[in-house]
Amino acid sequence: MRRKLFLCALILTGAVFLVSGFFPDLWVQKQAVADSSPAYHEGVVLSVRDKDDHYMLELRDPGGFKVRVNIYDEVKDTWDLIGKRIRYRSKLTYGDPARNPHCFDYRKYLRSSDVFLTGTIKSYKILSDKKILSLKYASALTRIREAFERRLPESSRGMITGMLFGDTGEIEDEVYEEFRRNGTAHILAVSGLHIGLLYSVYEKLTGGKTSTAGLVILAFLMYTYGTLTMWRPSVIRAEMMIGMKSLAKAYELRYDSLTAMSAAAILLIINNPYVVYGIGFQMSFLAIISINIITSRLPEKVPKSLSQAISVNLSMILYQAYVFNYISPLAVLINLPVLYLAGIAIPAAFAAFGAYALTFALGRGLMIPVFYIPASSVTDMMVWLNSLLTFGGRSSLDVTSPPAFVPALAIGLLLFLCSEYSGILKIRGLLNKTLLILLMIAVSSCVTWVMLYEPISHDEIVFVDVGQGACTHIRAGKTNVLIDGGGKHDRNQGEKLLKPYLLKNGVKRVDLSLATHEDIDHIKGLEELAECFRANKPVTGCTAGKRYELSEDVHIETLWPLETGGAPQKNENSSVFMINYRGIRIMVTGDLDTEGEKKMIEYYRSSGKWDKLKADVLNVGHHGSLTSTSEELLDAVRPSIAVIQVGRNNYGHPKKEVLDRLKEHKIAVFRNDENGAIGLDISDKNGKAVLRAVHLMMDSGC
């Protein structure tokens, strides 16, 4: 029965993953319909989260599905809003799918959290103050949690909040990154460790005895903690397993964690099939499976805590490489001292919250030093130790994502060969059955790879979606070049966008970075990338005649300007590059304005080099602004395809006049804001290079 239930959970997970891959909207409720324009909606507020610069509200729509909206105005007494019915105006969407190959898929993330629509609101109107009992309780708990967090020392507030409630929003980016890369970030994701500590407290209070009253108390504790952590899948999984363990003990039944885990997985998938996409779901269940299967194969002399850490890291190493693009060879050793301190810090934080909640319930809400100093002191020590064990960033290695079938095959083989069932088949000499299972694992791994395959990942030219900015990625054999790299004032595009894009698409280094000019939305991302990746600082000030040989039959030539004048490059003297990819020509104009276009055209006409301006593809200038892409340029270049690198903006880019102009010239137009990344597949046909296909990450209707 144990094996059958586990197999059932695996088959169900795989089937849902497969079906939803080919039919992504299959389980979206019919009532959850995206808006083509802003409309009025109603909903009951389920939770409110205070983000850095806005508030995030989750609501239950009258249709029964969840909606997530962001509001950038001040929301007073956020805890009191929970449970109220509000009316708001917003354009609700399904959220963007992945905009660059293999990168973050916001739509899948939302659906894995059981949210189907999202939007932004400016204000709301309360329609009803009546709250159901569960939401009254949630509102009260949120009020206590907010008050508790405000009274914590600022230095340790983020870490204590992360350890207690899984909310990492207030942890400094550098600190969180150190935990993530050391493989110790799981202490900040509420899971079995936290629920286990709560359960151990319960067992001590009850003396290890079970009774109906004790089970009711346990259920109340679990419900309270689940509400405080906003019911993350890892919390639900851990609480389900603890619940089954308690019931088994009460009724003197055998408890098996693998069986309990399988039952929890099946129930979670039935409730929300898209939960299989959640990283928390995947890592939580993979860790439990590994502990149950691999640990028993390790020598008995190895301490239990160490054997569990080894088991989890063996199965996680390729998963981390594929999903997070790093591996932590020292994660097992680093986890031991950090987890030891976490084992002190988390109970101390629980005690501090419990003491504060008790005084709050009595009408005082006291936060005296004796409550928080133990948790704060040990937490600070843990952060210091974890930072020390990064060894200056050498505790982990950046890696490119392996093909999806590699981690799927390796993990499948590891778990099967370490399983009890594999041993039974070996003892019984059932070689054919063993080979059949190995074949099934191999086939399943290949199917996973086919499902996750993105043709654009292998295209020779990719116009990367960097939002309101520009970035062109050129592959010439093993040589990788970027022309421009986007950039924002308030975001590190190099580290947060370009680096993940490159690593997830097999790029280990950037051999050359070129900037058309020095506007932030073109050069800043390249400068940031040079600080965190194997890439040189961007080359600027390229003038006509400068040529870069990428391979035997691929080169980049600078067409304009004749000179830059020595001052920082602006739009009027933006460098214009012509990419010649085995005869297929792509012109990148940066932000060159119409005056600059006319001068360039006149220069090449008068010098008899008119053909140098002809191109198959035009990267439209200045994101589709009226100041670029003149009739004269289109007549000179005569492209068949135009790419507009533009994101959501307040400038009105691309302008209708520019789009009409391109249409009049019968040029096919593709846009980053509508299509995400855009790839050009340049292939051989009868010994000649042809532009075989244009691959889009998104349909314009998404």
**pLDDT tens by residue, 194-212:** 888 888 888 887 777 778 8
Residue 675 confidence (pLDDT): 95
Q: What is the mean pLDDT of residues 309-337?
A: 91
Last residue of a domain, one of 73, 101, 131: 131
In a domain, 288, yes or no: no
Residue 62 has pLDDT above 80, yes or no: yes
User: Please, which pLDDT band fits residue 21 given cuts at 50, 70 and 90?
Assistant: confident
Number of domains within the chain: 3
In a domain, 409, yes or no: yes
Angle at 232 between CA 229 and CA 233, to 5 degrees: 150
Q: Give the tokens for residue 441.
A: 């694992």
In a domain, 561, yes or no: yes
In a domain, 642, yes or no: yes
Q: Is 75 helix (H, G, I), strand (E, B) or coil?
A: coil
Residue 546 has pLDDT above 60, yes or no: yes
Side-chain half-sphere of 177: how many Cα atoms within 13 Å? 11
| Residues 492 and 526 occupy one common structural domain | yes
Is the bond leading into 561 cis (omega within 30 degrees of zero)? yes
- SS3 of 87-107: the string is EEEECCECCCCCCCCCCCCHH
Residue 234 has pLDDT above 90, yes or no: no
The model's pTM is 0.92
One DSSP character per residue, 506-553 reads T---BSEEE-SS--HHHHHHHHHHHHHSSBPPPB----TT-EEEEETT
Average pLDDT, the chain: 92
In a domain, 20, yes or no: no
Residue 63 confidence (pLDDT): 92
Per-residue b/e over 329-359, b at no fewer than 16 CB within 10 Å?
ebbbbbbeebbebbebbbbbbbebbebbbee
Last residue of a domain, one of 102, 131, 160: 131
**pLDDT tens by residue, 26-40:** 999 899 999 999 999
Residue 634 has pLDDT above 60, yes or no: yes
**Alpha carbons 600 and 598: distance in angstroms, whole number:** 5
| Residues 443 and 506 occupy one common structural domain | no
Last residue of a domain, one of 131, 159, 183: 131
Q: Are 528 and 130 in contact (CB under 8 A)?
A: no
Q: 């319930």: which residue's tokens? A: 361
CA 687 to chain centre: 41
The C-alpha R_g of the chain, in whole angstroms, comes to: 28
Reported as type and span, the H/E element at residue 644 is strand 641-644
Q: Where in the sequence is the domain holding 680, given as residue range(s)?
A: 459-696
In a domain, 325, yes or no: no
Residue 1 confidence (pLDDT): 64
| Residues 412 and 508 occupy one common structural domain | no
| Residues 440 and 466 occupy one common structural domain | no
Residue 201 confidence (pLDDT): 80
| Residues 495 and 445 occupy one common structural domain | no
**pLDDT tens by residue, 380-435:** 999 999 999 999 888 899 999 999 999 999 999 999 999 888 989 999 999 999 99
Residue 207 confidence (pLDDT): 78
**pLDDT tens by residue, 689-700:** 999 999 999 876
Q: What is the mean pLDDT of residues 633-643?
A: 96
Residues contacting residue 268 through CB under 8 Å, at least 6 positions apart? 233, 236, 237, 275, 281
**pLDDT tens by residue, 277-306:** 999 899 989 999 999 999 988 888 888 888
**Alpha carbons 649 and 644: distance in angstroms, whole number:** 13
| Residues 425 and 537 occupy one common structural domain | no
In a domain, 475, yes or no: yes
- % pLDDT > 70, the chain: 99
**Alpha carbons 314 and 267: distance in angstroms, whole number:** 27
In a domain, 428, yes or no: yes
We report the CATH number of the domain holding residue 675 as 3.60.15.10
| Residues 599 and 673 occupy one common structural domain | yes
User: Please, which pLDDT band fits residue 684 given cuts at 50, 70 and 90?
Assistant: confident
Q: What is the arrangement of strands in the sheet containing 472-476, beginning at the earlier edge strand? A: 512-514, 479-483, 472-476, 461-463, 678-685, 688-696
Q: Where are the beta strands (DSSP E) in 227-331?
A: 326-327
- Residue 208 is given by DSSP the state T
- Pairing type for strands 641-644 and 617-619 reads parallel
| Residues 503 and 441 occupy one common structural domain | no
User: Please, which pLDDT band fits residue 188 given cuts at 50, 70 and 90?
Assistant: confident
| Residues 513 and 576 occupy one common structural domain | yes
Q: 């088991």: which residue's tokens? A: 311
One DSSP character per residue, 322-349 reads HHHSEE-TTHHHHHHHHHHHHHHHHHHH
**pLDDT tens by residue, 594-623:** 999 999 999 999 998 889 999 999 999 999
| Residues 446 and 594 occupy one common structural domain | no
Q: What is the mean pLDDT of residues 35-48?
A: 94
**Alpha carbons 638 and 614: distance in angstroms, whole number:** 6
| Residues 522 and 431 occupy one common structural domain | no
We report the CATH number of the domain holding residue 77 as 2.40.50.140
Q: 């929003």: which residue's tokens? A: 169
| Residues 411 and 532 occupy one common structural domain | no
Q: How far is CA 115 from CA 42, 109, 134, 479, in A?
A: 15, 9, 20, 41
Residue 463 confidence (pLDDT): 98
Residue 700 confidence (pLDDT): 62
Residue 684 burial (CB < 10 Å; 0-12/13-18/19+)?
exposed
Side-chain half-sphere of 627: how many Cα atoms within 13 Å? 15
User: Please, which pLDDT band fits residue 701 given cuts at 50, 70 and 90?
Assistant: low
User: Please, which pLDDT band fits residue 170 given cuts at 50, 70 and 90?
Assistant: confident
